[in-house]
Amino acid sequence: MRVLVTGGAGFIGSHIVTTLRLRGHDPLVLDLVPPDEGEFVRADVRDPEAVRAALRGADAVCHQAAMVGLGKDFADAPAYVSHNDLGTAVLLAAMAESGVRNLVLAGSMVVYGEGRYECPRHGVVRPGPRRVADLAAGRFEPRCPVCDSELAPGLVGEDAPTDPRNVYATTKLAQEHLAASWARCVDGRAVSLRYHNVYGPGMPRDTPYAGVASFFRSSLARGEAPQVYEDGGQRRDFVEVRDVAEANALALEASTPTGACTPYNTGSGTPHTVGEMATALAEAHGGPLPVVTGEFRLGDVRHITADSRRLRTDLGWRPQVDFTAGMTDFAHAAQRPAASAPPASQARGSGGGAPDS
């Protein structure tokens, strides 16, 4: 299969390209920077002519190009919308024109906002955004919106309501809506892999446009203690990048429904707190140990962890790298230098990793 990989020189994209080659496919990278090897088109995904040219002969598209992370402040909003939503619209319009009908999109768990919570009195509830006054006072846990009781966090399924809480999350949800509209219009096949906190070799270093694992690894490389926000009790699902690359390959090869954008949570299935991750990474690196700061960032959510059973059942995906082995490897793996500006190839990251710490 000839696969156009947008953002294929980025963190996750480069691993996808390697995995596609190993599975016998023919990837073509479209990016603003050259990959380490392989066929390459230097272009911005927002350039219609360049995208149309790159699609010639393609059978499918793996769309990883995006601006990731929580960013610095709301002044980043136009750049996020331009890279993520305009870029996706340009790509999908070119696919509609060229006849390419198979798309795998780098989605994100951030579209859910806060995760799944259960109140002992009111069952499953959806807390609103946390109040600044509570965060400033160190009250980080969301409370029941009905009775103010403590809540128990759980796993989020793909049928959970979406509720993006920051600009990046909003653009990722818009990408899914655009992909669904494209699929209906052209009877195409679209899959959104809602990445959880992706980490691993090749994460960018020293940049605000990356996930929490990258922040911590960058600090350790400088000999500094990772700075853990809030109390470190935020629950996340950390999934290794090579497992995410395998999920992309399986999604490209699968016979998913046409005329729709099918979402799949893409996580390890084993939640850990941010504090646990920071400690595991620091210990594997040889220190220094993390420092819990009590600081917070607006737009972060408290707990968000995946139920990835649909991906396992439908596509037969199984993560191969467990938390301890993955963090040990990442503690000594090379990181790539950050670009001077957040490029469209810097795909998740999050979330790529997730945009929180």
How does pLDDT run across 162-214, given as a tens digit for each residue? 999 899 999 999 999 999 999 999 999 999 999 999 999 999 988 776 789 99
Q: Vertex 298, ends 275 and 353: CA angle to 5°?
A: 50
Strand-pair partners of 204: 336
Residue 341 near residue 44, CB atoms below 8 Å: no
**pLDDT score at 128:** 87
Number of DSSP helices (H) and strands (E) in the chain, helices first: 11, 18
Q: Is 352 exposed, middle or buried (0-12, 13-18, 19+ CB in 10 A)?
A: buried
**pLDDT score at 339:** 58
Write the pLDDT tens digit of every residue in 220-254. Answer: 999 999 999 999 999 999 999 999 999 999 999 99
**pLDDT score at 195:** 97
Task: Tell me which amino acid residue 215 is.
Answer: F
Residue 38 near residue 62, CB atoms below 8 Å: no
Q: Is 132 exposed, middle or buried (0-12, 13-18, 19+ CB in 10 A)?
A: exposed
Is pLDDT at 355 greater than 70 in this prediction?
no
Q: For residues 224 and 240, what is the distance between their CA atoms, to the nearest angstrom?
A: 24
Q: Vertex 55, ends 53 and 58: CA angle to 5°?
A: 140
Buried b (16+ CB within 10 A) or exposed e, 41-55: bebbbbeeebbbebb
Q: How do the residues of the chain divide into helix, strand and coil, expressed in percent and rounded to 5?
A: 35, 20, 45
Write the pLDDT tens digit of every residue in 295-304. Answer: 998 878 999 9
List Cα–Cα distances, 276 to 51, 272, 273, 343, in angstroms. 42, 6, 5, 30
Q: Residues of the chain with pLDDT > 70: what percent?
A: 94
Q: Is 37 exposed, middle or buried (0-12, 13-18, 19+ CB in 10 A)?
A: exposed
pTM comes to 0.93
**pLDDT score at 206:** 81
Crossing angle, helix 323-332 and helix 274-285, to 10 degrees?
50
Q: Is 24 exposed, middle or buried (0-12, 13-18, 19+ CB in 10 A)?
A: exposed
Write the pLDDT tens digit of every residue in 67-76. Answer: 987 777 889 9
List Cα–Cα distances, 174 to 79, 169, 353, in angstroms. 14, 9, 18
Is pLDDT at 357 greater than 90 in this prediction?
no
Task: Tell me which amino acid residue 36 is.
Answer: D
> In whole numbers, what is the pLDDT of the chain averaged over residues?
92
List Cα–Cα distances, 27 to 21, 91, 245, in angstroms. 7, 17, 13
Is pLDDT at 17 greater than 50 in this prediction?
yes
